[in-house]
Amino acid sequence: MADSFGPMRDEDADDGVVGMGPDAGASRKEPIRVLVVDDHALFRRGLEIVLAAEEDIQVVGEAGDGAEAVDKAADLLPDIVLMDVRMPKRGGIEACTSIKEVAPSAKIIMLTISDEEADLYDAIKAGATGYLLKEISTDEVATAIRAVADGQSQISPSMASKLLTEFKSMIQRTDERRLVPAPRLTDRELEVLKLVATGMNNRDIAKELFISENTVKNHVRNILEKLQLHSRMEAVVYAMREKILEIR
pLDDT digits (tens, 9 = 90+) for 144-183: 999 899 888 888 777 777 666 666 665 555 454 444 555 6
pTM of the model: 0.61
CB 18 within 8 A of CB 156: yes
Q: Between 93 and 6, where is the model more confident?
A: 93
| pLDDT confidence bin for 75, thresholds 50/70/90 | very high
Same domain, 76 and 11: yes
Same domain, 151 and 121: yes
Q: How many whole angstroms separate alpha carbon 131 and alpha carbon 120?
A: 7
Same domain, 186 and 221: yes
- Please report whether residue 162 resides in a domain: no
Domains in the chain, number:
2
Displacement of CA 35 from its chain's centroid (Å):
15
Conformational region of residue 28, where left means phi above 0, alpha means psi within -120 to 50, and beta covers everything else: beta
- Please report whether residue 97 resides in a domain: yes
Q: Which domain holds residue 86?
A: 2-157
pLDDT digits (tens, 9 = 90+) for 22-54: 444 445 578 999 999 999 999 999 999 999 999
Q: Read off the CATH number of the domain in which 227 is found.
A: 1.10.10.10
Same domain, 152 and 192: no
CB 92 within 8 A of CB 37: yes
